[in-house]
Amino acid sequence: MLVLKHLHATFALLSLIGFVLRGIWLLRSSPLFQAKLTKILPHINDTLLLGSAIALVVSYQWNPLHHPWLLAKITALLIYIGLGLIAFRFAQARSSQLISWLAALCTLCYIFGVAITKSPTLHLM
Ligand code: HEM
């Protein structure tokens, strides 16, 4: 279980690094943004991140409806995916790409905060 948790945390960190890099490449119009690996690797990592999350929840037998921090993570993950799609696929203007990318990054930071504190309010309330 500990190995699975470490794997999940590693995929999460890789997802953060990849998201930051892709945003920088997009905003600087770098050809790296269009590279084949840049398009494929995030999908593989995100599948592993989600797969390890599901494996953790199943092996702990935790029901997200009974653990508000898990529900907060799932909700924030959906928002993160949506903002990522806007930033990297749908937004045309630089300003919209920047704003949606920054908003996605804030959401990702919130997910890390929830993962570490196990609290949807990050123990701030
Ligand atoms: C972008 C998405 C996600 C990120 C960045 C993320 C990040 C993390 C991190 C960093 C940890 C380790 C926390 C620690 O060391 O205590 C963790 C643990 C965990 N995550 Fe995620 N996670 C994500 C998505 C999810 C999802 C969608 C679920 C389930 C629905 C989930 C379920 C869990 C569980 C069950 C643990 C183990 C908690 C424990 O053993 O104490 N994660 N997550």
Q: How many A from CA of 57 to the centre of ligand 1? A: 9
The predicted-structure confidence for 50-85, as pLDDT tens digits, reads as follows 999 999 999 999 999 999 999 999 999 999 999 999
Domain residue spans in the chain?
A: 2-117
Amino acid found at 29: S
Q: At residue 1, does pLDDT exceed 90?
A: no
56 lines ligand 1 (CB under 6 A): yes
In angstroms, what CA-CA distances link 44 with 17, 18, 84, 103?
Answer: 14, 12, 16, 23
Around Cβ 88, how many Cβ atoms within 10 Å? 20
77 lines ligand 1 (CB under 6 A): yes
- pLDDT at position 125 is 83
Tokens, residue 53? 């999350």
Task: Give the mean model confidence (pLDDT) for residues 16-21.
Answer: 98
Task: Give the mean model confidence (pLDDT) for residues 37-44.
Answer: 97
In the structure, what pLDDT confidence band is assigned to residue 9 with cuts at 50, 70 and 90? very high
- Rounded to a whole number of angstroms, the distance between the first and last alpha carbons of the chain is 30
Q: How many A from CA of 70 to the centre of ligand 1? A: 8
Q: How many A from CA of 13 to the centre of ligand 1? A: 11
The predicted-structure confidence for 93-124, as pLDDT tens digits, reads as follows 999 999 999 999 999 999 999 999 999 999 99
